[in-house]
Amino acid sequence: MKISKLMMILGAISILGLFVFPLWRITLEAPQYPIPLAMDIYINDFADVHPHDIKNINLMNHYVGMQYIPESIPEFTIFPIVIAVMSVLGIAVGFIGKHKLFLAWFILMLLLAIAGMYDFYLWEHDYGHNLDPNAIMKFTNKDGSVMGFQPPLFGSKDILNFKAHSYPQLGAIFLAIGMALSFISFFVGKKQQK
């Protein structure tokens, strides 16, 4: 089998790592939480990093009127289907072996990933800004607008007494490796054709 085909197939299989490992992690640090509160985001679940972390994040966030982190969101149904379909598609494309299809798969996966990130941003924004008007504590920015508590999409940010961190996890790395493999397989396939 040609190396490019193998790479494409491996890449398509690699993204299945998202079913096993978390995509993203949000961590909240504060002095009175020597073990920080943290939540792992899977393509189909929000999960405690330490037992009851989500319950305790909810408990804390209700002071500023944030909604509870939902048990489930529609994305948890959609994402697994998208990833499964893309993996099957990628394996098929790999067997077909046309390098232009490799690129097409990569671009499609990239667009879906961007869409996914955007969707995540929208949820985060809503989570951080759609506050209960009867919140126990209300904070305003310097310009007088209501302070939001949106965690960063990527990176670290101070939110009141907490420092919030938001970083990709192993699942995201599997996705990145899969995409990188498909992208490289395109060039390798192209070269091999010549």
| Alpha-carbon torsion angle 60, 62, 67, 68, nearest 10 | 50
- Binding flag, residue 67, other proteins (CB under 8 A): no
Question: Could you say which of 20, 52, 114, 125 contacts other proteins (CB under 8 A)?
Answer: 52
Contact yes or no for 14/185 (Cβ under 8 A):
no
Rounded Cα distance, 169 and 175, in Å: 10
- Binding flag, residue 136, other proteins (CB under 8 A): yes
Positions 17 through 46 that interact with other proteins (CB under 8 A): 35
Phi/psi for 130 (5° steps) reads -80, 85
Identify which range of 52-60, 124-132, 138-146, 162-170 contacts other proteins by CB under 8 A: 52-60
* Cβ-proximal residues to 66 (8 Å cutoff; 6+ apart), any chain: 127, 128, 131, 132, 149
Residue 51: CB minimum distance to other proteins, A: 7
Total residues contacting other proteins by CB under 8 A comes to: 9
- Binding flag, residue 51, other proteins (CB under 8 A): yes
Q: List interacting residues with other proteins (CB under 8 A).
A: 35, 51-52, 55-56, 59, 63, 136-137
